[in-house]
Structure 1
Amino acid sequence: MPIEIKTGPRPDTPAEPRREWQRAVKRGARLRCPACGEGRMFNGFLKVNDACPHCGQALNLHKADDAPPYFTITIVAHIVVPLLLFVEQTYAPAEWLHAVIWLPLSLVLSLLILPRVKGALIGLQWAFRMHGFGAEEDGPVPEPAPKATRAA
């Protein structure tokens, strides 16, 4: 007997309108609400608003965790390292000059890019209805299994 694979929404849930992920990521990268594009996403440097001040969309459901710093480090490294190698090969400046140029540049780029990457990631999670941004709520986090104790 062949297995029947059904695609599309489940019959017990209503069809939800599709969210354009590219638009949501762009809005998030502009530090705006992924739903309306008007309200501010952050109320601090990286502190996400509980809800959009313009449309009321809940924003505190995200699970960004360590992804924004990881992507930020990757982006900054892909900018700074080729520039550093070019300057070293072309001009061969002293090591102290490298430190004066590349450390502040890395810091400034990281501070500029990190909130935008976090906003884009939250926009992506919203567009794909992840972590409570959709119709279905995430289930409770399961309790860890108790550790077995060794008898002495």
Structure 2
Amino acid sequence: MRGLCPRCGAKTLFASVVGFAPRCRACGLDYSAFNVGDGPAALLTLFLGGLIVGLAIALELTVGPPFWVHVLLWVPITAGLVIGALRVSKAALLYSEYHNDAGEGRQGEA
């Protein structure tokens, strides 16, 4: 969540809210060498989407608020959860790739 470099611990992992910087400004680690891909986004879409829909249905069945209440409630909650969770999941996947020395397309280097 704090965007720390997996090698040196400097706060240089993210260049934007959820976008990685090209490299660490402190130690020079190339973040573009890691392939995080769309896995975190797809997983969050399914998990958080199901959670928010379930909560919205529960609210509708118990309280029955007008539509505008749903919009004012669920849009910011969904956006906040997705951005926060996407940042954490992308960083966790990059950390995992770094610490396990994972690489795309490498075959049995011995």
Q: What TM-score, normalized by structure 2, do the two folds share?
A: 0.74
Cα distance in 2 for residues equivalent to 1:55 and 1:93? 53
Match of 1:120 in 2: 92
1:16-44 alpha-carbon deviations (Å, 9 max, x no partner): xxxxxxxxxxxxx4321122322310122
Q: Does 2:106 correspond to 1:138?
A: yes
Name the structure 1 match of 2:66. Answer: 94
The higher radius of gyration belongs to 1
**Cα distance in 2, alignment partners of residues 40 and 52 from structure 1:** 5
8 Å contact kept, 2:18–2:83: no
Task: Tell me, in whole angstroms, the C-alpha distance in 2 between the residues paired with 1:129 and 1:138.
Answer: 11
Question: Do 2:24 and 2:31's aligned partners in 1 also have CA atoms closer than 8 Å?
Answer: yes
2:41 matches 1:73: no
Q: Unaligned 5+ residue runs, structure 2?
A: none
1:38 maps to which residue? 10
**Identity of matched residues, %:** 23
Aligned residues: 107
Superposition RMSD in Å? 2.5
CA contact (8 A) 2:6 2:98 kept: yes
Q: Which runs of 5+ in 1 are unaligned?
A: 1-28, 140-152
